[in-house]
Structure 1
């Protein structure tokens, strides 16, 4: 068979395959920002996040990725292809960003203002003046109610000093100073507990927890 004839025969199949692959790849979208009861946050359907629920043991990175893609796509992410004994960041369109604390906080702020959730790597920090769980990644949860946010003291703890803990940052304090940001200016969907008995929970980051020495941020690439 002449090469040109063979090409004409297989071309439709190749085009169909390319279309299928392009559809399967995560698309870099952006969410709108809204002030929700005093927190400037990316708009998303909380029922979609609650349907994903809290993480399976050892899979905080996968669940953070699923939350991020759900916020971006407006549809529940199944996480298909995003786990292989650890998160496959590129499968969700995410890539690494590293720098000192100021650089990471600036990147966090700019990404959120561009409508893109950021996945953040946390480590425990020591909290003084508490009787339990002095080593923790966060202290405060914000539970969504019809009247606003109900602030609850509920510490989150990284159980691994080697692997740390991954969260999906989706909001910030509107009073935050862009020239003097701190970790506690930001709010995350924390895989440890996005669902507090069926209620959406945001976690406020705790100063001293962003793990700048160990792959601190994953951003939409």
Structure 2
């Protein structure tokens, strides 16, 4: 019986790094030949470390997630004194992270969008990895945020968390788009119009849009 060669951690890491980059760029259709070339290994080595393309893809998603978990600082969200500051700071921080880790963000964005090119079973598996992480982060951030707010006693706290998660997600998406469209806005002092809009959105969420008698 042939003796199995020991795994080389450095080679395995190179394959995963290459897989994150190629899957982030080309989706599940990424060429394993390109992944092997980028990693500086043979295609046979790719499949010796990762039995097939599906398992390589799942491992790449886990790698991308682990990379971001190692560097993300949730205090950017939780230590803000008010919601407006939190949204601006957190969105800018997320944008900076996406520029530092473009391959990881690109891959996870494809996972979030549930790329139809990914086989269904794999798509469900990697989407669960993403949503479990997202739920944990949102729960931490929104729970701490709500703890600072005088929530009405007649409201279901879980419903409030779900509602605020949806509201903050929508506002953050607009903030991110505007920050990307206006890279000259580096400091809070440069964001007067954006901050005013965020405040108005949050006031709508807090007080409603129907005029009182």
TM-score w.r.t. length of structure 2: 0.30
- Greater share of strand residues, 1 or 2? 1
Larger Rg: 2
TM-score of the two chains, using structure 1 as the length reference: 0.30
Q: Which has the higher contact order (CA 8 A, sep 6+)?
A: 1
Name the one with the larger helix percent: 2
